[in-house]
């Protein structure tokens, strides 16, 4: 069964941000492509669109925050880890409707599902120590 609601939106957001990193598609192209996907009607489409727009617009600021907590340069992050960190940090900084613990837990769960072995520990450590973006 496909994930629905906000959890499904996060999964699709992860895929869209991965694609943005590796292919360079622009925001309108990504939004149109993902809106046409099967299952899009079951996710929180507003959340998906808002978060995709926010992360793409704020990627540089998010990367500064990641860089302050990471043990390696942001450029060396795996694209999946990078996207998961963007999602988590975006929620922590600009989604007051998402409690801190939920934002971190959801990012960890994305890393467990899609990331490399033990990447969820790395994601948890960075999100736990990342300072709010000014």
When divided into structural domains, the chain yields a total of 1
Q: pLDDT value at position 3?
A: 61
Q: What single DSSP character describes residue 40?
A: G
Task: Give the distance, in angstroms, between the CA of residue 123 and the centroid of all CA atoms in the same chain.
Answer: 11
Is the residue at 134 inside a domain? no
**What is the residue-wise DSSP string for 101-116?**
HHHHHHHHHHHHHHS-
Is the residue at 73 inside a domain? yes
Which stretch of DSSP H or E encloses residue 55? helix 45-69
pLDDT band at 134 (very low <50, low <70, confident <90, very high): low
CA within 13 Å, CB half, 21: 21
Closest CA to 105 of 19, 5, 10, 4: 10
Is the residue at 18 inside a domain? yes
- What are the pLDDT digits (tens) for 35-92? 999 999 999 999 999 999 999 999 999 999 999 999 999 999 999 999 999 999 999 9
Kindly report the pTM of this predicted structure. Answer: 0.94
Q: Which tokens hold the place of 51?
A: 């978060």
| Confidence check: pLDDT of 1 > 90 | no
Q: What is the largest CA-CA distance in the chain?
A: 39
Domain boundaries, position 97: 5-34+44-129
Q: pLDDT value at position 132?
A: 78
Is the residue at 78 inside a domain? yes
């Amino acid at each position: 069964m496909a994930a629905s609601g906000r959890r499904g939106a996060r999964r699709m957001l992860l895929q869209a941000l991965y694609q943005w990193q590796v292919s360079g598609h622009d925001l309108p192209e990504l939004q149109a492509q993902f809106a046409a996907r099967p299952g899009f009607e079951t996710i929180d489409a507003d959340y998906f669109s808002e978060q995709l727009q926010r992360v793409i617009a704020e990627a540089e600021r998010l990367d500064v925050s990641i860089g302050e907590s990471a043990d390696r340069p942001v450029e060396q992050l795996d694209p999946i880890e990078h996207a998961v960190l963007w999602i988590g940090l975006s929620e922590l900084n600009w989604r007051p409707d998402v409690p801190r613990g939920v934002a971190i837990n959801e990012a960890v769960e994305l890393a467990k599902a899609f990331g490399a072995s033990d990447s969820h520990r790395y994601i948890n450590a960075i999100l736990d120590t990342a300072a709010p973006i000014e």
